A and B are shown apart, each in its own frame.
Chain A
Amino acid sequence: MVKKELSSDYVIELNDVKKSFDGHDFILKGIDLKIPKGSLTAIIGFSGTGKSVMLKHILGLYKPTSGLVKILGTDLSTMNNDELTQFRCHYGVLFQSAALFDDMTVLENVCFPLEEHRRHLKKDQVLQIAYEKLRMVGLDPKHYQKLPSQISGGMQKRTGLARALALDPEILIYDEPTTGLDPILTEMVDDLILETHKMHKGTTSVMVSHDLGAAFRIADFIVMLDAGKVLLSGTAQDFFDTDIELVKRFVKKGMKHQ
């Protein structure tokens, strides 16, 4: 049985989370992080600093070697695999590659989570919700019956976001949403994230990225990781005002690329 503590204002809490896969080298070396409800938080950092590993802890895909991961007031370590699987209905995730099921049409992709978790809904109700989500992300109805391979990268991202929103999740996670996209598409995806966040007021959004420009443009809070630890967390202004040399270098390089 999952015990839920009702005190938290923070939706995501990581307390001294350490992770090692071989028992010697630690990828995460004691992460402390609190993400408030309804915020849009960007997690940034150079490659190999532990962003993806940390994200997988938040999603409950990895268990920490030590430390505590609390999501929506629930300690994930108290759950067994079946409970964790069910708990993941609270999340919506947009993957870097969109990760659409390539044997399903755009519409079927968005219907899928509803068919899995809202079994009481009738077929036309499922379709209605799917149409609504696809409209919300601005995808033209003429693409609904196409396979993912028949639509562009930007449309795939929109479909992925519609699918992530299908169950009205409490936590929305964007895993490197703009990596590998051209500047125009990057801006489009950033705007889409911002619009989605504004439309879903109670939803807590977490964006993992090494696109500093996007983080500064759209995030309420920014967390920078380095060598498995939180180097700095705060607003965009805190990042401009900091004296930490590595952060200054990262900011300088990031702004140069914009």
Chain B
Amino acid sequence: MINVIIHKIAHYMDDFFESTLGRLKKFAWDVGEISLFAITSIRLLFVKPYRYGEIVKHMEFIGNQSVGIITLSSIFTGLALSFQIYLGFKMVNAVNLVGPTVALGITRELGPVLTGLIVAARAGGAMAARLGTMRVNEQMDALDVMGVNTKQYLIAPRIIAAVLCMPLLTALFDFMSMVGSWFLCTKIVGLDNAVFFEKIRQTVDVRHINEGLFKSAVFGFMFAVICTFKGFNTEGGAKGVGEATNRGVVMSMVSIIILDYFLMNLIRVFYSFVGISI
């Protein structure tokens, strides 16, 4: 009896390690492939012909067409965050610090992360779906046999556009969140207008904003590479396109959240290296 139980446990352990090892191997393989894909695409940014027209076209899609959704989301983020912080700070009589707290949180963390998540879902998903459809409909093969470098034509402009647009969208998110925060603090809960601005001026520095903008550019690069990789390597028909889109968006979102933590630490290390207090 005991022998059977031990045998079963050993069997389950074996299966567990085998599947975990398999997943780890698959993960390492994916990371390697995505890195190679990113390196090849980046190299092609510096090879003629330069695709300025394509970059502008994708900037219009990633940037311009995201303005509405970013504006709306950021105003309500500012309103909700400010109200929660107000409720907390009211208990310790520190309501004058709501503005700077929201400003620091938005510019350094929430602005880039939420913008990254929203744009990855909207534009990243569309990128993966578009490229996936092109793959299954033979349009990529058509480009290949026409003597057009598909990575240069389809991938590189999308990556550049995402890297350029993300800081701009994050700046918009930061600004509109603060508009929401200002509205809640001064018009709804009745804080003093001058105090609200003065406290922010005293606390928030340009480098805090730059920190967020830098992160957002990295997030833009990240989701553009992941989503274009997934779309570019789509297999199968409509099902394959759906899976590629889903995986691209999920992987991008998780990567943004994980990467945010490491970037935060990297920036902290950088500040301590150049002697700036956080």
Q: Which residues of A contact B (CB under 8 A)?
A: 59, 61, 82, 85-89, 91, 93, 95-97, 99-102, 112-113, 116-117, 119, 173
Contact = CB atoms under 8 A, between A and B. Distances in A.
A106 B112 CA distance: 41
A99 B146 CA distance: 12
Interface string B104-124: 000000000000000000000
B148 interface: yes
B18 interface: no
B137 A99 contact: yes
B74 to A, nearest CB: 30
A95 B141 contact: yes
13 contacts: A59-B144, A85-B147, A85-B148, A87-B147, A89-B146, A89-B147, A95-B138, A95-B141, A99-B141, A100-B139, A101-B139, A116-B147, A117-B147
Nearest to A87: B147
B138 A88 contact: no
Contact of A116 (B139, B141, B146): B146
B72 to A, nearest CB: 27
Contacts, number: 48
A116 B137 contact: no
Interface residues of B, number: 12
Contact of B149 (A85, A87, A89): A85
B94 interface: no
Contact of A113 (B137, B138, B146): B146
B145 A91 contact: yes
A240 to B, nearest CB: 34
Q: Dominant SS at the B interface? A: loop
B144 A97 contact: no
B142 A99 contact: yes
Contacts of B148: 85, 116
Nearest to B133: A102
B141 A61 contact: yes
A223 B103 CA distance: 72
Contacts of B138: 95-97, 99
B241 to A, nearest CB: 13
A88 B139 contact: no
Contacts of A88: 144-147
Q: Which 8 A-B pairs have the closest CB atoms?
A: A99-B138, A99-B142, A88-B147, A89-B147, A93-B145, A95-B138, A113-B146, A99-B139
Contact of A95 (B142, B147, B149): B142
A116 B53 CA distance: 13
Contacts of A117: 147
B147 to A, nearest CB: 4
A179 to B, nearest CB: 13
A59 B137 CA distance: 18
A163 B137 CA distance: 16
